[in-house]
Amino acid sequence: MAASSANPIRERIHLSFLSAIFLGIIQGVTEFLPISSSGHLAVLQNIFHMQTAEGHVFFDVLLHLGTTVAIIAAYWKDIVYVIRDSVGLIRETRLPVSQPRQAHLGARLLMMLFFGTLPLFLILPVHDMVEELYYNTGFIGAAFLITGCILFISDRMPRGRKNERTMRILDALIIGAAQAIATIPGISRSGSTITAGLATGHTRGYSMKYSLLLSVPAVLGANLLSFIKALKGGVDWSYLPEYLVGMLFAMVVGYFSIVLLQRILKNGKFGKFAYYLWGVGIFTLIASLF
C-alpha cells in the first residue's frame, strides 16, 4: 500500500498485544466465514485508526500466513493426496502403454487449481487501484451489501453433483474469476468462490474444499509480494512478539472457523450470513459519513 503523509490513517502507530490478538481473531473468523476478512479489517483499521500499513505491513502478511496454515491443517490429507497423485502420474508416463492406468483424481484437482488461479493475473495491472479501495470505507460498506446478496442467492441454488472427477476447466475459470473479483475489500472470497462452485453444479462439500485449496496459492503469492514490499518499506522488528501472537490467534481461530463453515454449508445455512452483512454494510455506510 502506498504511503502518504497527508493521510493520517496511514501514519505509523503503536501495536499492542491486545490489538494484535484482536486483529488475529478477526482475521481467523472472517477469512473463512463468508463475510470478507479484508473488508472487516479495513473498516476496523479505518474507523479506529488501527491501521497496520507503514510499520506493520509485515503483520498483515503473518495474519494471512496464519490462516493459510489453518487451511493446510484442515485439508492436509487432500494436499498430500494431490502431491502424491501428481508424482504418480509423472512416474506412470514412463510405464509401457500396455500397463493399466489410474484415474489420478489428485493430479486432475491440481490441474483445476492451476486454471482457477489464472484469472488472478488479470488483477495485476489494477492492483494499486484495488489497494486504494481499502481506505474507502463507504465503498467497502456497499461491497458488504453486494456480498450479502450473493450469499442470499447461494442457499436457493439447486444441489449439484459435480466433484473433482467431473469438474471442467470452464468451471475452474469461473470460480477463479470470482476469486479475482473478491480481491475487492468487502467482497467475500470464500462466499463468492463457494457460491460460484454451487452455481456451476458442484456439491457443497467439494465447492468448499476447492474454494479453500484455491486460496492457498493465491494467498501465498500475495504474501510473497507483500513480504517483499514490507522488507523494502522496513519492518519494525521490535513488534515481532506482537506479530507472532496475532498470527497464532489467526491460525487457531481460523482452523475452528473452517470446521464451523463445513457444518454451516452442509446444513444449507450459508445464506444466513446475508443478514449480518446487510447490517454491517448499512453500519459501515453510516460510519463512513463521519
HSE at residue 138, side-chain half, CA atoms within 13 A, is 4
- Separation CA 32–CA 75 (nearest Å): 14
Say which DSSP state 149 is in: H
Model confidence, pTM: 0.83
The grid coordinates listed for 164 are 473433482
The grid coordinates listed for 66 are 496464519
- Separation CA 34–CA 32 (nearest Å): 6
Q: Would the pLDDT of 1 be above 70?
A: no
- The size of the chain, in residues, is 290
What confidence tens digit (pLDDT) does each residue in 236-286 have?
Answer: 778 889 889 999 999 999 999 999 988 888 777 778 899 999 999 999 999
CA distance readout (Å), 102 to 77, 108, 211: 19, 11, 25
What confidence tens digit (pLDDT) does each residue in 96-131 have?
Answer: 544 444 568 899 999 999 999 999 999 989 988 998
